[in-house]
Every structure is written in structure tokens, then in C-alpha cells.
A = this chain, B = another copy of it.
Amino acid sequence: MAMKQVARSAFKAVANSGSSSVLTRQLHASPGSKKIVGVFYKANEYFTKNPNFVGCVEGALGLRQWLESQGHQYIVTDDKDGPNCELDKHIPDLHVLISTPFHPAYVTAERIKKAKNLQLLLTAGIGSDHVDLKAAAEAGLTVAEITGSNVVSVAEDELMRILILVRNFLPGHHQVINGDWNVAGIAYRAYDLEGKTVGTIGAGRIGKLLLQRLKPFNCNLLYHDRIKMDPELEKEIGAKYEEDLDIMLPKCDIIVVNMPLTEKTRGMFDKDRIAKLKKGVLIVNNARGAIMDTQAVADACASGHIAGYSGDVWYPQPAPKDHPWRYMPNQAMTPHISGTTIDAQLRYAAGVKDMLERYFKGEEFPAQNYIVKEGELAPQYR
């Protein structure tokens, strides 16, 4: 009975912090109607263009009929920031908040404090850094993701971005749409991926899938992680373990970031660390924008020290019009999209339904899905 365990632990955590607010909360899945709020991006005219487009406000993860037929209330919105936003109206009485990394509902300590009925925070996708996890743990909340729902989607996207940078795709495409033709202007900095050194920081689910897809490209593959793979898997994947990140990084022609945003990783690619990278390094970051020092990346792209930067993650999201990464040279950026392909949406919608079913029944979630459980953070977030 997962939620009952959470309740006990929460009591302890909050009791330790000296607050008594926990006594007014129902932290287990009690019977009866729940108020569930989903925060997703809005599709507008795009919604009707694809019957499988479930990941938007209009699609509502395909859960409305199912939830309402069981007597639950289901509010869905994209209005998540600023005073009087729709989300804030529901904070005082919601039981479950579902959000995605693509249009994140920032769950601050302040919002948690106001959310007296809140029990469960679900991320439809991977990456729960939009939640103040410490505050969530202290309040006895459960935070969980649909781990695995879009790991293939993100790994494929990373390999695409590596190739786009290595092969200098975008300047060529822009020649086409501008009416130009200048092969030399592309070729002088276009390379094969074969033979290059590619290092991933983090070799969890996504990092491993990326390495497997890189294997036939005959690169020199390196990985840094908290944990070394077992030797058999390492041999199958063909990547070499680098225990010391700062020894690995200067060896890399291409660096891929595959770790969560935590207090340890926030801003870790700052001016000093970037200065130690190979001149002309390429960086792919589909993890989180705030792992980078925004201005340091923009400056290194301008100087040419970073020869190309591609990713789909920014801070904050949506990225403001004046975000420097929109304007820096040799960027191959997109909005946050890699984990929200139609295939990924169908998988994380099914995953959210499964988790809610378990929640209503008071059952455990799959172990790998927990980010905060019984006041404890998952290892990758510690």
C-alpha cells in the first residue's frame, strides 16, 4: 500500500520540520472523488490533425472519459505561470497534479505549502526537476515519473542532433531556402561521425540506448556515470567507462548530456569547464537547459570554442524571445520536443493511466518510477 507508507513517512518528515500542517492532510488514497489537474501544452489548430495527439490540453492524455466515469474531477490547462493563472486556482484543493517536462508546471515550495490536499505529483515523461523535490519530500508527497516512456524517443533525437552538428546540416539547408548554392561553405566544417570520440555524461536508460545506436558508427565511445556497467553489457555496448568526468571531457569531439538536473549538476558547464573542452567540441543536451551556464555557452559558440550546440531544453520553458541561445552561431536548437513524439505521448498517457489506477487502489508503483517516496529522493536526484 504505497500511499499509506508515504503518509507515515510524510508525518515523520513534516513532524521533524516542526510543522503541524500534515495533520490536516489526507496523504493516502482514500476512497471517493479526487480532483486531478493536468498541465500540458495547448494544441489549438493542430489538435484535430492527428487522432493520436493525446499529449496536449485538448487531448488530455485521453483520460477524461475514464476519470469522469469514476466520479473524479479532471481539470486540464496550459495556464501555469503568473498571478491568477488557472493552475493556482486549483492548488488549494487538488489531489493529483500531472505535468510534463515540455510545458512544466513549476511546483515550488510555496505552491506545495498551499496545496493542502495534494498527495501525488506525476510527470508524464521523464525528469521531475520542475518540482521542488526537497519540499515535496518534506511535505510527504509522492513524486513519480513514467520512467521509460520516452527514453527511445530522446535517444533517437540525440543521435539526430549529433549527426546534424557533425555533418553541418543546417547551413546547407539554409542555403537552399535562401536561393544559394555554395558547397564549400558547408564542406569546410563537415565531418563524418565515424572515428570521432563521443562521450556521454550519464549512461542511464537514455544514455545506454544512445550508445547502442552509436555502436555501428565505429566511434570511440566513452561514458561517465555514478555506476560502471557490468562488464558484459559494457562489452556489448562497446563503450569505455571514465570514472573522472574532467578527465573524460577534454578527450571528446562530441559530448552528450544525459543526466538529471540536480543541485550538483545545475550550471556545471560554466565558463571554466567549457574552457577545458577540446576547441571545436560539439555538445548535445536534451537533458535540462539549466545544466549549462546559459551565457557561457552562448559566448563559447560565438568564439568558436564550441563549434556546435544542439538540444531541446531551455530554462525557463517556454524560452523567452530574448534567450541568447536563439541567436548564437552554430546552434541547432528546437523547443522541448524530443520526448513528446506521437509514439511517446501514447506511451506516457498509458503509463499515467496505469499509475492513477494503482493510486486509486492504493497499490505500489513500479519501483523505478518513484522520484520521491516516503520522504526519500531517488538516487539520481540526491
- Could you tell me which A residues sit within 8 Å of B by CB distance? 41-44, 46-47, 49-50, 53, 55-56, 102-103, 152-153, 156-157, 159-160, 163-164, 167-170, 172-173, 175-177, 179, 181-195, 212-213, 215-217, 312, 317-319, 321, 325-326, 331-338, 340-345
Contacts and interface: CB of A to CB of B under 8 A. Distances in A.
A335 B186 contact: yes
A210 to B, nearest CB: 10
B216 A334 contact: no
B169 A163 contact: no
A193 B335 contact: no
A249 to B, nearest CB: 23
Given A188-B49, A337-B190, A164 B164 contact: yes
A58 B165 CA distance: 25
A117 B42 CA distance: 69
A167 B46 CA distance: 16
A237 to B, nearest CB: 10
B333 A176 contact: yes
Number of copies: 2
Most buried by B among A103, A168, A342: A342
Nearest to A332: B173
Nearest to A150: B192
11 contacts: A46-B187, A49-B188, A53-B187, A156-B217, A160-B164, A176-B331, A177-B326, A190-B341, A192-B341, A213-B217, A216-B216
A343 B181 CA distance: 21
Given A186-B337, A335-B176, A336-B183, A215 B216 contact: yes
A167 B164 CA distance: 13
B343 A186 contact: no
A347 to B, nearest CB: 9
Contact of A341 (B167, B317, B334, B338): B167
A192 B335 contact: no
A50 B189 contact: yes
A345 to B, nearest CB: 7
Contacts of A318: 181
A192 to B, nearest CB: 4
A156 B163 contact: yes
